[in-house]
């Protein structure tokens, strides 16, 4: 069971990063350039479409993690797409992209699909290419599709619980929300989805964003010795979810990031770091968080506000994480670089 769960999370982590990185790297930059170069709108639209292919990517990456055959892997991808919820049928009968879908349900559907194709094994023999994709859609895919509304409503319940936290005193609220989103970004739950459901804005959004910054920056710093520089940067430019498997196997690897998140959340309340429901779930990815703070803060791009932005989104997260990683690894001997090792084979 532990090995199954490990492979599932590894595949999900890789699929999430692969599907989300194009928009994370280019999205905000393209938004700035499109008014001057309208032709770039097509490129931006493509990155959004790629994000909606996340369920397929998760399914395919999960299949590869389990070393399934090509047909089995493709079948898991199809099933995950059916259960992912990233494509919705409108009242007019058209099919529309609906964000990245419900990542938790995508993972559940992919897990069911893996078990299903493993159960079938080579029983279908030469008919596998004809029957297995259809059966994967009909059985695990439709199970995922049927449970999608219930999983989605469960995410909404979590969102409502978080919404109640926003009624607390700003500093305390900032600490709690920052911690919560630091944990959510390391889980199959969607930070963007949760923030959108509850329309998280203002200081709550800023604190959530800084919680994700704490996770991304900290994991990048902690993991670069065990991985390549590009992989380390993917935690910041893409998503900290890339460490989802390692976090579930060894939750202690997130201790430095959680402490950093708590401090940054408090600063969000003290310094009035704000954001929008959209920016709350992104961290430093695409510079969505810092840019939204600068657009929302009073007086805009002043020297003071730029200093606050650079300090809270870059300098302080780096300094705190470096110090805490040193304490937890060298002094307390609780973590080591190998704990953050990622395997993309």
Cα(266)–Cα(283) distance, integer angstroms? 16
Domain boundary pick from 112, 132, 156: 156
Residues 179, 290: one domain?
yes
Please give the model's pTM, rounded to 2 decimal places. Answer: 0.81
Domain range spanning residue 119?
1-156
What's the mean pLDDT in 170-187?
Answer: 93
Considering the domain architecture, whether residues 176 and 319 belong to the same structural domain is answered as yes
What is the predicted pLDDT for the residue at 99? 80
Residue 25's pLDDT band (cuts 50, 70, 90) = confident
**In a shared domain, residues 54 and 87:** yes
Whether residue 313 is contained in a domain is answered as: yes
Alpha-carbon distance of 205 to 201, in angstroms, equals: 5
Neighbouring residues of 68: CB distance < 8 A, sequence distance ≥ 6: 76, 114, 117, 118
Give the contacts of 335 (CB within 8 A, at least 6 positions apart). Answer: 222, 252, 253, 255, 256, 325, 328, 329
Mean pLDDT value of segment 119-136? 90
Predicted confidence band of residue 345 (pLDDT cuts 50, 70, 90): low
Please check whether residues 185 and 311 belong to one and the same domain. Answer: yes
75 and 146 assigned to the same domain: yes
In a domain, 239, yes or no: yes
SS3 assignment, position 62: helix
User: Looking at 156, 186, 218, which one is the last position of a domain?
Assistant: 156
Residue at 31 is within a domain: yes
pLDDT band for 157, please (50, 70, 90 cuts): confident
Secondary structure (3-state) at 203? helix
pLDDT tens profile 307-333: 999 999 999 999 999 999 999 999 999
Print burial letters for 50-63: b (CB count within 10 Å at least 16), e (below 16): bbbbbbbbbbbbbb
- Our count of domains for the chain comes to 2
21, 126: one domain:
yes
Q: In sequence order, which residues have a C-beta less than 8 Å from that of residue 260 and are 6 or more positions away?
A: 214, 217, 218, 317, 320, 321, 324
296 with 183, same domain: the answer is: yes
In a domain, 4, yes or no: yes
> CA triplet 251, 256, 260: central angle to 5 degrees?
125
Q: Is residue 161 situated within a structural domain?
A: no
One domain for residues 28 and 151? yes
- On whether both 247 and 325 belong to a single domain, the answer is yes
Choose one of 156, 184, 207: the last residue of a domain.
Answer: 156
- Of 54-63, 259-268, 294-303, the range with the lowest mean pLDDT is 294-303
Kindly state whether residue 124 falls inside one of the protein's structural domains. yes
pLDDT, tens digit, for every residue of 55-103? 999 999 999 999 999 999 999 999 999 999 888 888 888 888 888 888 8
What pLDDT is recorded for position 115?
Answer: 96
The reported pLDDT for the residue numbered 1 is: 82
Name residue, tokens 């990622």: 342
How is residue 310 annotated by DSSP? H
Give the rounded percent of residues in the chain with a pLDDT score beyond 90. 58
Separation CA 312–CA 316 (nearest Å): 6
Please tell me the predicted confidence (pLDDT) of residue 332: 95
Q: pLDDT at residue 110 above 80?
A: yes
Does position 111 have pLDDT exceeding 90, yes or no? yes
The sign one gets for the Cα dihedral 183, 176, 204, 195 is positive
First CA to last CA distance, the chain: 21
Question: pLDDT at residue 141 above 80?
Answer: yes
Higher pLDDT, residue 140 or 156:
140
Does residue 216 sit in the same domain as residue 74?
A: no
In terms of domains, do 86 and 128 share one? Answer: yes
Let me know whether 150 and 171 are in one domain. Answer: no
Count CA within 13 A, CB hemisphere, residue 344: 14
Look-up: residue for tokens 């920056």? 217
Distance from C-alpha of 178 to C-alpha of 168, rounded to nearest angstrom: 13
Beta bridge partners of 96: 88
- Average pLDDT of the residues in 223-235: 90
Strands (E), the chain: 87-89, 95-97
């Amino acid at each position: 069971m532990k090995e199954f769960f490990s492979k599932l999370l590894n595949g999900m982590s890789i699929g999430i990063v692969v599907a989300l990185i194009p928009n994370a790297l280019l999205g905000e930059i393209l938004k700035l350039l499109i008014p001057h170069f309208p032709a770039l709108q097509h490129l931006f639209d493509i990155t959004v479409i790629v994000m909606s292919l996340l369920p397929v990517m998760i399914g395919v990456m999960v299949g590869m993690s389990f070393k399934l055959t090509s047909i089995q892997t493709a079948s898991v991808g199809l099933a995950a797409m059916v259960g992912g919820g990233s494509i919705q049928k409108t009242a007019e009968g058209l099919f529309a992209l609906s964000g990245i879908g419900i990542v938790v349900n995508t993972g559940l559907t992919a897990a069911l699909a893996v078990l299903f194709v493993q159960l079938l094994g080579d029983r279908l023999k030469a008919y596998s290419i004809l029957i297995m994709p259809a059966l994967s859609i009909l059985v695990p895919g439709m199970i995922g599709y049927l449970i999608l509304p219930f999983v989605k409503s469960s995410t909404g319940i979590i969102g409502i619980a978080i919404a109640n936290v926003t009624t607390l005193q700003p500093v305390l609220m900032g600490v709690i929300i920052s911690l919560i989103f630091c944990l959510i970004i390391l889980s199959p739950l969607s930070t963007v989805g949760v923030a959108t459901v509850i329309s998280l804005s203002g200081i709550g959004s800023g604190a959530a964003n800084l919680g994700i910054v704490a996770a991304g920056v900290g994991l990048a710093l902690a993991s670069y010795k065990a991985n390549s520089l590009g992989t380390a940067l993917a935690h910041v430019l893409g998503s900290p979810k890339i460490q989802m498997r390692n976090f579930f196997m060894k939750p202690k690897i997130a201790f430095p990031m959680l402490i950093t998140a708590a401090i940054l959340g408090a600063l969000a309340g003290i310094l009035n770091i704000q954001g929008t429901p959209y920016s709350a779930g992104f961290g430093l990815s695409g510079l969505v968080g810092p840019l939204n703070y600068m657009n929302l803060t009073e007086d805009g791009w002043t020297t003071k506000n730029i200093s606050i932005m650079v300090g809270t989104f870059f300098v302080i997260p780096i300094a705190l994480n470096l110090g805490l990683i040193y304490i937890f690894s060298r002094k307390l001997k609780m973590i080591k670089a190998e704990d953050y090792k990622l395997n993309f084979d």
